[in-house]
Amino acid sequence: MVRFENAFNSTLSKKAKKRVDTVFLAIKKEKSEKKVGYYSLPQKSKKLLKEINVYKKNNPFFSKQEINDIVIMGIGGSTLGTKAIYEALKHQYSQKRELHFLENCDSIQIEETLGKIKKEKTLFMVISKSGTTIETISIFKHILEEYKFDLSDQKQANQFVIITDEGSSLNAFANEYNIQQFFIPANVGGRFSVLSAVGVVPLSLMEFDVKALLKGAKEFGQSFFKKEQTSLLHKAYHYYKNINKQPINVMFTYSTRLQYFNQWYVQLWGESLGKKNELDKKVGLTPIGLVGSVDQHSFLQLIIQGPENKTVTFISIDDFGKKINIPKIKLPHLEKCDFANGSSFTKLLNAQCAATKESLEEEGIVVDEIKLTTLDEKNVGTLICYYEILTSVMGKFLKINTYDQPGVEFGKIKLVKKFEKR
Amino acid sequence: MVRFENAFNSTLSKKAKKRVDTVFLAIKKEKSEKKVGYYSLPQKSKKLLKEINVYKKNNPFFSKQEINDIVIMGIGGSTLGTKAIYEALKHQYSQKRELHFLENCDSIQIEETLGKIKKEKTLFMVISKSGTTIETISIFKHILEEYKFDLSDQKQANQFVIITDEGSSLNAFANEYNIQQFFIPANVGGRFSVLSAVGVVPLSLMEFDVKALLKGAKEFGQSFFKKEQTSLLHKAYHYYKNINKQPINVMFTYSTRLQYFNQWYVQLWGESLGKKNELDKKVGLTPIGLVGSVDQHSFLQLIIQGPENKTVTFISIDDFGKKINIPKIKLPHLEKCDFANGSSFTKLLNAQCAATKESLEEEGIVVDEIKLTTLDEKNVGTLICYYEILTSVMGKFLKINTYDQPGVEFGKIKLVKKFEKR
């Protein structure tokens, strides 16, 4: 279960209520018009699970080989969501099969990752929505050369999976060599695509409980569209109304497991909401991801005594599954630290979360908390859907296009020119 | 070599020049008064290197054992700097000996890390300036119990190293069991302590070239105090003058190697500068660390088209040491990505950095760049000293105490109370 505890439930003024209602209707419309497709992924991807099962059984490489490693070549929306879920939950699964991500054109990183795998026991996945992501395709070329793959040999082509948009250049490439493909719906943007083939395929091949993940997302979505999640709407309204006073939104997750979830959030929030609005004015909210208690020793001082330009959302987990107690050992001269003796590390972590939250509240900083009973697929699915919808709602308040990213295109043109010059 | 390329060198107004000169004198005074001790660490720590050599040769555990792993228990300033340097440079060293960090009270993380080591081949280090950091001491207790250590047996006590302030409770504890100790100078704060025993001891034991690290820092410091680094002063002045317009400072490092350097920067900048000033007004600058090109696909859109409330510093590396070329393979339908064929991954990464920088400049965003010729100890030492001094200079402009962190103390008291209640 996921509980949303926030102070945004207070009654709104008539005007505010009207604005919130308008936004809710706009989101409902957006969903029903299907130009924005992520809302229906929890439903749609169930079919995909069947396709994946067929692949698992029938693909000559996957079904016959003992696969130890899956290497994903992808960047941004093609990896952040999968990484977030994988890193949050992988400790619950056998460590026999590992998932690796080749994202950055950092030669040392590439070499390090490839040092961990064996060609014949590895499945390679190329993920790119547009199909022409320079980092991804360049690394793909390196893999082809490094391992002397000959894709015209069907046996070797079977060792690859490609995930892309239908009709993309990568789709055409995969057709050429008869490489296994899964498609991202055209109406689902990269950063909203984790519950499409982008996340569902690799996580299914890692034997994660993807059904539960989809269920968590689906149930939250249904509940939202039944207008049961008014606190989400009120929270977005608060962020919108106070955008100049509080332009920074901190996500403070109390678990090292969720550090990559923070990164997923940073992309979703930053890239979706940093836009020119209808009046050509630059708007946006700046996301920051922190991990407790580590960042209590780093960033917290700034939140408490620095400028009051931040809101903070705590994410905590009641039960990590694994319980280790702090031994009841009294060390001479270190008695000051005995207060936690006999408690579990989780209890200490959650008490730190609560103490920090109270400190911020006393300082008048706007905080809320999302509490997960346990760290599992269903709850992570809920969390994902919550943040996706919150982002869409914010976009409506800000009157922007939440789903494009025109600002990064200029740099891509400049990049190509740098190579033409030489 | 490290080159600082920025646009802050333009001539200042008379008034501004006066302000900058006043701050420079205040920093000089701060250094000479020795209440703030980090300025002299590059000099002071040379003596420490000799102490460490004696320990290496004579300590019965370290000199006799083949040590495969060093586990550091510490958090915040006790680990962030060491981790930054270790992760930036470890690929240049034999992978035989590994450094691990137990920072967070996350039971899964603790178990995972301990799963990688063998007790008899591991050196354990406890690092805490105050000596009573609850996370660190609790994890220390777990280690003692998990491995059934009996510290009253000198042979077993020899397997530990403690780094703390002279006179701290941890110092008294270590005396009790005759555990090897190294001290942090009392006038050096946690987040400024990486060039003290905190970083110098573990990095020396990992056989890093700590001498070069100290040299890089020392030379930069000397150059600054000879007033050769005016661009640093002008940059700080710009940040100070525009604190309301540009309250967010992004560090955009174009290398996965430097991702932990970002985290070190976030603590240094955030915790030092987020303070109540002389007039009890909350001031501060919000640090954000990004990694290129990954975050071009995540955060960049917000910088370009979101509110103009950010400055951006790029950090790039000319030569990573390791060169991998993008193969000259033409893949059918993917010709759009052929422009980088035959170039090295590093060239692509640096071209992305340059293209992104240009895009931001065209948008009128304030950017500068720090270029490292190579990634080595000396250049990392320079970078560390640059950021420490920049932070101190900012603190003088803001008229705050750069070196304390009063805001996080309230939470610590609340935490203890949560355990008393039960």
The number of residues in chain B equals 422
- HEC-encoded secondary structure of A229-271: CHHHHHHHHHHHHCCCCCCEEEEEECCHHHHHHHHHHHHHHHH
User: Average pLDDT for residues A261-289, to the nearest whole number?
Assistant: 97
Is there a contact between A359 and B411 if contact means CB atoms under 8 Å apart?
A: yes
**What pLDDT score does A9 carry?**
66
* CATH code that applies to domain B37-208: 3.40.50.10490
| Selected residues 287-306 of chain A with any CB under 8 Å from a CB in chain B | 288, 291, 293-294, 296-306
CB nearest to A334's CB, from B106, B137, B329:
B137
Coil, helix or strand for A312? strand
Coil, helix or strand for A196? coil
Q: How far apart are CA B151 and CA B148, in angstroms?
A: 9
Helix (H) / strand (E) containing A205: helix A197-205
| Selected residues 185-204 of chain B with any CB under 8 Å from a CB in chain A | 190
Is there a contact between A332 and B176 if contact means CB atoms under 8 Å apart?
A: yes
**What are B52's two structure tokens?**
């460490």
Q: How far apart are CA B319 and CA B92, in angstroms?
A: 13
User: Average pLDDT for residues A398-408, to the nearest whole number?
Assistant: 95
Give the C-alpha distances (Å, rounded to integers) separating B357 from A106, A368, B243, B340, B354.
19, 36, 21, 19, 5
Q: Does A38-208 carry CATH code 3.40.50.10490?
A: yes
In this structure, of A194-203, A272-281, B3-12, the range with the lowest mean pLDDT score is B3-12
Our CA-based measurement puts residue B168 at a distance from the nearest CA of chain A, in whole angstroms, of: 9
Question: For A179-193, how does the pLDDT look when each residue is reduced to its tens digit (9 = 90+)?
Answer: 999 999 999 999 999
Give A243's contacts (C-beta < 8 A, 6+ positions apart): A283, A285, A398
Secondary structure (DSSP) of B190-239: GGG-TTSHHHHHHHHHTT--HHHHHHHHHHHHHHHHTT--HHHHHHHHHH
Nearest CA in chain B to A358: B411
Our CA-based measurement puts residue B104 at a distance from the nearest CA of chain A, in whole angstroms, of: 6
CB nearest to A288's CB, from B282, B288, B304:
B288
In this structure, of B2-16, B134-148, B204-218, B382-396, the range with the lowest mean pLDDT score is B2-16
CB nearest to B75's CB, from A173, A297, A334:
A297
**What are A416's two structure tokens?**
């190509």
Q: Are strands B310-319 and B248-253 parallel, antiparallel or unpaired?
A: parallel
B360: number of CA atoms within 13 Å, CB side? 28
Secondary structure (DSSP) of A86-152: HHHHGGGS-TTSEEEEE-S--HHHHHHHHTT--GGGEEEEEE-SSS--HHHHHHHHHHHHHTT--TT
Contacts of B131 in chain A (CB under 8 A): 334
| Selected residues 309-338 of chain B with any CB under 8 Å from a CB in chain A | 309-310, 320-324, 326-327, 329, 331-334, 336-337
Cis amide linkage into residue B293, ω under 30° from 0: yes
Which of B24-59 are b and which e, b meaning 16 or more Cβ less than 10 Å from the residue's Cβ? bebbeebbeeeebbbbbbbebbeebeebbeebeeeb
| Selected residues 357-396 of chain B with any CB under 8 Å from a CB in chain A | 358-359, 362
Contacts of B303 in chain A (CB under 8 A): 274, 407
How many CB atoms within 10 Å of residue A98?
15
Is there a contact between A298 and B271 if contact means CB atoms under 8 Å apart?
A: yes
Give the C-alpha distances (Å, rounded to integers) separating B297 from A259, A262, A375, B314.
18, 15, 28, 16
Q: How far apart are CA A107 and CA B254, in angstroms?
A: 12
DSSP B256: G
Question: For B329-350, how does the pLDDT look when each residue is reduced to its tens digit (9 = 90+)?
Answer: 999 999 999 999 999 999 999 9
Q: What is the model's pTM?
A: 0.97
Is there a contact between A331 and B105 if contact means CB atoms under 8 Å apart?
A: no
In this structure, of A138-152, A385-399, B400-414, the range with the lowest mean pLDDT score is B400-414
Q: How far apart are CA A258 and CA B106, in angstroms?
A: 11
Confirm whether B66 is a catalytic residue: no
**What pLDDT score does B65 carry?**
83
Contacts of A283 in chain B (CB under 8 A): 306-307
**What pLDDT score does A170 carry?**
98
A409 has pLDDT over 90: no
Best A104, A126, A178, A376 member to test B by mutation, with max B CBs in 10 Å, is A104
The amino acid at B163: I
Question: For B132-158, how does the pLDDT look when each residue is reduced to its tens digit (9 = 90+)?
Answer: 999 999 999 999 999 999 999 999 999
| Selected residues 230-289 of chain B with any CB under 8 Å from a CB in chain A | 247-248, 255-257, 263, 266-267, 270-271, 273-276, 282-286, 288
Best A281, A294, A296 member to test B by mutation, with max B CBs in 10 Å, is A294
A194 has pLDDT over 90: yes
How many CB atoms within 10 Å of residue A155?
9
Secondary structure (DSSP) of B284-334: --EEEEEETTGGGGTTHHHHHHS-S-EEEEEEEEEE-S---BPP----TT-
Question: For A71-94, how does the pLDDT look when each residue is reduced to its tens digit (9 = 90+)?
Answer: 999 999 999 999 999 999 999 997
Is there a contact between B354 and A419 if contact means CB atoms under 8 Å apart?
A: no
Is there a contact between A305 and B333 if contact means CB atoms under 8 Å apart?
A: no
How many CB atoms within 10 Å of residue B98?
15
Give the C-alpha distances (Å, rounded to integers) separating A228 from A34, A221, A380, B273.
22, 10, 19, 42
**Are A107 and B325 a contacting pair, CB within 8 Å?**
no
Q: How far apart are CA A372 and CA A381, in angstroms?
A: 11
Query: Under the phi-then-psi rule, with left for phi > 0, alpha for psi from -120 to 50, and beta for the rest, what region is B299?
Result: alpha
**Are B297 and A75 a contacting pair, CB within 8 Å?**
yes
Give the C-alpha distances (Å, rounded to integers) separating A390 from A24, A235, A375, B384.
11, 9, 21, 39
CB nearest to B76's CB, from A132, A297, A346:
A297
**Are A236 and A399 a contacting pair, CB within 8 Å?**
no
Q: CATH top-level class for B2-32+212-407? A: alpha beta
Residue A184 pairs in a beta bridge with A165
Nearest CA in chain B to A406: B301
The number of residues in chain A equals 422
Q: Are strands B180-184 and B248-253 parallel, antiparallel or unpaired?
A: unpaired
Confirm whether B35 is a catalytic residue: no
Catalytic residues of A: 271, 297, 412
Coil, helix or strand for B356? helix
Q: Beta-strand (E) ranges in A267-411?
A: 275-276, 282-283, 286-291, 310-319, 367-374
Is there a contact between A327 and B142 if contact means CB atoms under 8 Å apart?
A: yes
Taking the C-alpha atoms of A297, A300, A304 and A310 in order, what is their torsion angle to the nearest 10 degrees? 170
**What pLDDT score does A12 carry?**
87
Q: How far apart are CA B105 and CA B5, in angstroms?
A: 41
Confirm whether B271 is a catalytic residue: yes
Asked whether the domain spanning B37-208 has the same topology as the one spanning B2-32+212-407, the reply is: yes
**What pLDDT score does B264 carry?**
98
A422 has pLDDT over 60: no
How many CB atoms within 10 Å of residue A169?
21
In this structure, of A6-10, A259-263, B386-390, the range with the lowest mean pLDDT score is A6-10
Short-list A160, A152, A158, A135, CA closest to A76 = A135
B398 has pLDDT over 60: yes
Domain ranges for chain A: 2-32+212-407, 38-208
User: Average pLDDT for residues A56-62, to the nearest whole number?
Assistant: 95
Q: How far apart are CA B72 and CA B164, in angstroms?
A: 13
B422 has pLDDT over 60: no
Phi, psi of B254 (to 5 degrees): -90, 65
Contacts of A351 in chain B (CB under 8 A): 415, 418-419
**Are A213 and A377 a contacting pair, CB within 8 Å?**
yes
Which of A200-212 are b and which e, b meaning 16 or more Cβ less than 10 Å from the residue's Cβ? bbbbbbbebbbee
How many CB atoms within 10 Å of residue B236?
23
Query: What is the ipTM for the molecules in this complex?
Result: 0.96
